[in-house]
Amino acid sequence: MKNFWRRLRLYGVGFGIGLIFVFFFFRNRGCTWLPENRVKNTFLGKVIVVSETNQRIFDRHHLSDSMIESFLNDGSISFGSSKKQGKLKVYKIEKEVNGKNMALWFSMPEDAFIAEAVWPKGSIQKFKSTTEGFGRMIHFPNVNSFVYLKDNDELTKQMKEFGIKDEEQVQYMMKKGGLIDFSRSQLTAEPSPEQMIVLPRGNGDTLTARTTWFKDHIEFYEFERN
């Protein structure tokens, strides 16, 4: 019995040390069951966009795309100052940048595949998604393929007309210079939000695509020439 209690104490000490490593050394690199990391991983599974208005502010503060993304990697979420309820959730994330504590907001419309990086202004509880201009894509889900082309005759016809071969080509166009057209997107539409994507083409013009979020993929179901 004495050996049993001794082993139990040793196990407890080892378990406690393991918890310390988990929480303080690996807090932002694992443990997806932690509330903070669950939120961050959800954002990192989306397409992060920056509106034209916020881009100008980020430029003034010398915030690069990688620095903005770093808030989701090793920043700290202020849950008490975040909007955690409703169809549009907005989280305040803080991080030290160049020796100064800085905060950004990251908004997440329900069932949309985009999330928006925002410079804080006004009340976070009253924040609304951008509805004008365009949003530049600065982060994409870290998976091999996140594009799905709907299988129907009309879309196949459009793809042939515009020289689109497959999902891989569309994903490449998105990463090369894809934009969200906020003015034509419907982020509160039912049953799921519609996001209008502007895709660059090699000849200098662009295509617009109607898209939605479908089974962890961005579903493209209509192309049109701009």
**pLDDT for the residue numbered 178:** 97
Helices and strands in the chain: count of H runs, count of E runs: 6, 11
User: Does residue 40 share a domain with residue 128?
Assistant: yes
**pLDDT for the residue numbered 175:** 96
Mean pLDDT score, 198-221: 93
> Can you tell me the distance from the alpha carbon of 141 to that of 139, in angstroms, rounded to the nearest whole number?
7
**pLDDT for the residue numbered 25:** 45
**pLDDT for the residue numbered 201:** 87
Contact (CB, 8 A) for 70 and 96: no
**pLDDT for the residue numbered 17:** 55
Mean pLDDT score, 9-20: 53
Mean pLDDT score, 190-219: 93
Could you tell me the CATH number of the domain that includes residue 51? 3.30.2310
User: Does residue 174 share a domain with residue 120?
Assistant: no
The answer on pLDDT for 20 being more than 80 is no
User: Does residue 152 share a domain with residue 184?
Assistant: yes
Overall number of domains in the chain: 3
**pLDDT for the residue numbered 194:** 98
User: Does residue 174 share a domain with residue 113?
Assistant: no
Query: Confidence class of residue 172 from pLDDT cuts 50, 70 and 90?
Result: very high
**Backbone phi, psi, residue 118, to 5°:** -130, 140
The answer on pLDDT for 21 being more than 70 is no
Contact (CB, 8 A) for 97 and 63: yes
User: Does residue 109 share a domain with residue 82?
Assistant: yes
Task: Name the residue with tokens 């082993």.
Answer: 7
Domain final residue, candidates 84, 107, 133:
133
Distant-in-sequence contacts of 200-206, Cβ < 8 A, 24+ apart: 200/173, 200/176, 201/162, 201/173
**pLDDT for the residue numbered 143:** 94
Instruction: With respect to residue 138, please indicate whether it lies within any of the assigned structural domains.
Output: no
H runs (alpha helix) in 127-203: 153-162, 167-177
**pLDDT for the residue numbered 94:** 98
User: Does residue 109 share a domain with residue 55?
Assistant: yes
**Backbone phi, psi, residue 202, to 5°:** -65, -25
Query: 173-198: per-residue pLDDT in tens?
Result: 999 999 999 999 999 999 999 999 99
Instruction: With respect to residue 184, please indicate whether it lies within any of the assigned structural domains.
Output: yes
Residues 6+ apart with CB under 8 A from 50: 58, 65, 68, 116, 117, 135, 136, 138
Instruction: With respect to residue 10, please indicate whether it lies within any of the assigned structural domains.
Output: yes
User: Does residue 84 share a domain with residue 71?
Assistant: yes
User: Does residue 51 share a domain with residue 127?
Assistant: yes
**pLDDT for the residue numbered 30:** 53
Domain hosting residue 191, numbered range: 147-225
Instruction: With respect to residue 88, please indicate whether it lies within any of the assigned structural domains.
Output: yes
Mean pLDDT score, 203-216: 92
User: Does residue 11 share a domain with residue 44?
Assistant: no
User: Does residue 76 share a domain with residue 17?
Assistant: no
Contact (CB, 8 A) for 213 and 113: yes
Instruction: With respect to residue 173, please indicate whether it lies within any of the assigned structural domains.
Output: yes
Domain final residue, candidates 98, 133, 168:
133
Query: 26-82: per-residue pLDDT in tens?
Result: 444 456 678 999 999 999 999 999 999 999 999 999 999 999 999 999 999 999 999
Domain final residue, candidates 85, 107, 133:
133
User: Does residue 40 share a domain with residue 21?
Assistant: no
Query: Confidence class of residue 23 from pLDDT cuts 50, 70 and 90?
Result: very low
Instruction: With respect to residue 142, please indicate whether it lies within any of the assigned structural domains.
Output: no
**pLDDT for the residue numbered 24:** 45
Instruction: With respect to residue 141, please indicate whether it lies within any of the assigned structural domains.
Output: no
Query: 124-171: per-residue pLDDT in tens?
Result: 999 999 999 999 999 999 999 999 999 999 999 999 999 999 999 999
For residue 118, what are the β-bridge partners? 105
User: Does residue 43 share a domain with residue 25?
Assistant: no
Instruction: With respect to residue 139, please indicate whether it lies within any of the assigned structural domains.
Output: no
